[in-house]
Structure 1
């Protein structure tokens, strides 16, 4: 398995976007255009069957789910787990005194750190990029995110509370001008949570309820919209990336 990365060439389709954080006019950031298409265990099982027809899809899927479940239970028991791709390490956040009493108001939380192993790092070193498109933002940008429950503007948000996003040309619309376009929150694993209801959807302000049930951690807010200042929608969608990382504690 160690030489598997030498058998196939991988190319990522990339979209370049203006970097509004810097003052340079020739500075662009890159994002992989396929990152919103998250693949499931069912997809992986189908791919294995397609490549190796002697295996049954339902058998593969059943075994994969058993492995996933067993990994969870081992983690819940406090042990790190090493797979070929990643290492899972149990973590604890919070401050304690010598008797184990929690010292701060945030309390104690159990979590898991995930780090990729060398086999994945070696494979990623050989990935090539294909510049599929360049997106000019035309003055569109997200300026600020404000948690209306706490008033904080540092990215900290309250699950179930209202969040206000302000900026320029941020109205979230579909290709036909109807609302809404795509308003997504990406976690650190690039898994997307789609926000389907916006309380306010204006060119300079959007207000939405931050979803409940999301795990603690960092999230990237992206708005995909066809909105323009004219009556004609954009031919291609514009994607705005929030410059502030949203944090669920």
Structure 2
């Protein structure tokens, strides 16, 4: 079966001088975790028992993680992963408060070949679409969804300006247990339609969070009657929670 990615045309908020400049936004097919991957593998009729599949995948993840964190550049065929250091080393000493380890992932041969054969289907144009295009941790400069508590976090997209009187309007962080934390007004330091700069709470615990922007913003003079929202996933710390991660330590 041929792989197919579907997308919607939307105005490019970066090139505001060109009104005809468009980008393609992915039409999400949903979220998939390891449990669903195990089931997909089982459906391939491998003849393997589910506990065997789970064991092999868990072993693979553990070995790959160990090799990466011992300085190897690991090529799985799908991706190449290599550890990198982030932050300035002060006085020749590693400081976990200012330094961290980041693992870079680069697509490899198998994935590149599959991408070349993937069909892209354009569904049409979405007018006044609200979307998040990219995020950036201002401390590390990384755009992979990682975030640092107590530091600025940049969000770029379209129709993001946080305005409106509805009680749901604002920026929230939902942790892996479903606990919602709403940012204070002064924690949204830059509030524009195409970009937000957020000051993340300093006491934000290590976890995986759903960052949601909810607003009644409209390009017209009138606000939307009903707020709309868009979300993205961010990770704080080295051991983000949630999902159905195996125990691979």
1:66-85 alignment, distance < 5 Å: 66-85=59-78
Structure 1 residue aligned with 2:245: none
User: Does residue 24 in structure 1 map to residue 18 in structure 2?
Assistant: yes
Aligned length: 205
1:225-244 alignment, distance < 5 Å: 229-230=222-223, 232-233=225-226
CA offset digits 1:186-210 (Å, max 9, x no partner): xxxxxx9x994323479x6886745
Unaligned runs of 5+ in 2: 238-249
**Cα separation, partners in 2 of 1:19 and 1:51, compared to 1, 3 Å:** same
The structural deviation recorded for 1:49 is 0.9
CA distance in structure 1 between the partners assigned to 2:41 and 2:231 by the alignment: 36
**Contact 2:216–2:224 under 8 Å retained in 1:** no
The farther-off stretch of 161-170 and 37-46 is 161-170
Structure 2 residue aligned with 1:119: 110
**Contact 2:168–2:214 under 8 Å retained in 1:** no
CA offset digits 1:96-153 (Å, max 9, x no partner): 69xx92599x855433221111111111012222222422228x899xx9x9xx9xxx
Partner-residue secondary structure (3-state), 1:197: strand
**Cα separation, partners in 2 of 1:129 and 1:225, compared to 1, 3 Å:** farther
**Contact 1:11–1:128 under 8 Å retained in 2:** yes
**Cα separation, partners in 2 of 1:88 and 1:62, compared to 1, 3 Å:** same
Structure 1 residue aligned with 2:82: 89
CA distance in structure 2 between the partners assigned to 1:66 and 1:172 by the alignment: 48
CA offset digits 1:140-176 (Å, max 9, x no partner): 899xx9x9xx9xxxx9975145879899773489xxx
Unaligned runs of 5+ in 1: 1-7, 186-191, 216-220, 242-247
Structure 2 residue aligned with 1:4: none
Structure 2 residue aligned with 1:63: 56
Structure 2 residue aligned with 1:179: 168
**Contact 1:222–1:240 under 8 Å retained in 2:** yes
Aligned-residue RMSD, C-alpha: 5.0
Q: 1:170 aligns with which of 153, 157, 161?
A: 161
- Compute the TM-score of the two structures, normalised by the length of structure 2: 0.59
**Contact 1:10–1:126 under 8 Å retained in 2:** yes
1:153-164 alignment, distance < 5 Å: 158-160=148-150
**Cα separation, partners in 2 of 1:62 and 1:133, compared to 1, 3 Å:** farther
The structural deviation recorded for 1:212 is 4.3
- Compute the TM-score of the two structures, normalised by the length of structure 1: 0.59
Structure 2 residue aligned with 1:245: none
Q: 2:183 aligns with which of 191, 196, 199?
A: 199
